[in-house]
Structure 1
Amino acid sequence: MDHLTTAPPRQGLIIFLNGTTSSGKSAIAAELLPILDEPYFHLPVDAFHALRSPVPVPPESLDLLLHRTWRGYHRAVAGMAAAGNHIVMDHVLSADWRLEDCLALFSPRDVVLVGVHCPLPELERRERLRGDRPPGLAARQLAQVHAHGVYDIECDTGTTDPAACARLIRDFLDDRPTPTAFERLRATAGAR
């Protein structure tokens, strides 16, 4: 019998980086992957958008297409974790349904929800430097992205560099508290 078919099942851990565009999530992920004790996959939502073919989308169909992309992304992350893979995902919870979808799909004990904060002036500066985002996008996302208000750990990329944020997250993994932020959020959602 193939030894892989008898490997003990496990749920992979999801390190869920949430913040506005240009907040530094991808930079943290790049610093985090090499310092973790086990292999992790970095699955940024931007990578899923980049996989889409360049066929023009009529403006009236764009919202539906984006909604389907986000839902597919959530299911891809959930599937990878359910197969036992550890994931670092970077996400923008700028709509209530995105968090609700993730709460329904992910094993709440196996999610480390990380709030990635950055002051607005710095976000705007980064957007200008990037040039690949609509001006003001981060400002429009700012209030909603952190509206749920519950995190396992938070970092501020305006005052802390990505490598230090990554070390903070790595060190947190050894002693994760219970209930997790996802467990608390799911309990709150179920109480409504």
Structure 2
Amino acid sequence: MQAPGRVILIHGASSAGKSTLARAVQAALPEPFTHLTFDHLIDSDALPRGPEWLKVRGQVFDGWHRAVAAFGASGADVIWDHIIESPAWHSDLRALLAGRDLFFIGLHCDLAELERREAARRDRKPGDAARDAAHIHAGKQYDLELRSEDGAEANASRVIAACQARRGVSGFFA
């Protein structure tokens, strides 16, 4: 039976630079890690749009959480960039990822920069970044907190060093 894979979970507001950091960490790690992000589903046009999306959003995210957990259960090492939108999601994810070697990263970004990035991307609904920034970090116990303004390469080095130096159970499960 395969041992569960490791999970590096990067959490931050929309447009905080989670995917950029995930790709930098993936490139810097000596072992292969699979980068998973909900943006892959969005970019592939796999999801319904408009009112149809609202009808299935809860089920899709529940399935997404289970799919990412299944990657780890199969033994795959994963870098997952995600926005944990609610305490209920956090609770569900704790149960799905229980017993995993998980490293939880909080990626912070100034609101003005989030809004600038959001506007430049044009694939985000205006206001999502500000909404996220106002609440998603509340009550979280991270294993490492980073500022996206420090740059992806510098932050990737910090992630790798912190992963190697860590001891004990992740703050994610606290």
TM-score (norm. length: structure 2):
0.92
Instruction: In structure 1, list runs of 5 or more residues that go unmatched.
Output: 1-7, 185-192
Q: Distance in 2 between matches of 1:70 and 1:21?
A: 16
Deviation at 1:52, TM superposition (A): 5.0
**1:151 alignment counterpart:** 142
Q: Distance in 1 between matches of 2:73 and 2:48?
A: 32
In the alignment, does 2:116 pair up with 1:125?
A: yes
Instruction: In structure 2, list runs of 5 or more residues that go unmatched.
Output: none
Given candidates 88, 92, 105, the residue that maps to 1:97 is 88
Deviation at 1:109, TM superposition (A): 4.5
**2:168 alignment counterpart:** 178
In the alignment, does 2:8 pair up with 1:18?
A: no
Deviation at 1:54, TM superposition (A): 6.3
- Aligned CA RMSD, in angstroms, stands at 1.7
**1:68 alignment counterpart:** 59
In the alignment, does 2:127 pair up with 1:136?
A: yes
**Which letter maps to 1:88?**
I
In the alignment, does 2:28 pair up with 1:35?
A: yes
Q: Distance in 2 between matches of 1:53 and 1:157?
A: 29
Question: Where in structure 2 are the equivalents of 1:42-81 lying within 5 Å?
Answer: 42-53=35-46, 56-57=49-50, 59=51, 61-81=52-72
Q: Distance in 2 between matches of 1:89 and 1:54?
A: 19
Which digits, 9 at most, give the CA deviation of each residue in 1:24-60, with x for residues without a partner? Answer: 0000011111111210000001113344546555x2x
Q: Distance in 2 between matches of 1:175 and 1:131?
A: 39
Deviation at 1:180, TM superposition (A): 1.4
Conserved in 1, the CA contact under 8 Å of 2:4 and 2:74?
A: yes
**Which letter maps to 2:14?**
T
**Which letter maps to 2:162?**
F
> Mean alpha-carbon deviation: is it higher for 16-25 or for 91-100?
91-100
In the alignment of these two chains, the number of paired residues is 174
> Mean alpha-carbon deviation: is it higher for 139-148 or for 114-123?
139-148
Identity across the alignment (%) = 33
Higher radius of gyration, 1 or 2: 1
Q: Secondary structure at the match of 1:32?
A: helix
TM-score (norm. length: structure 1):
0.84
> Mean alpha-carbon deviation: is it higher for 79-88 or for 65-74?
65-74
**Which letter maps to 1:71?**
D
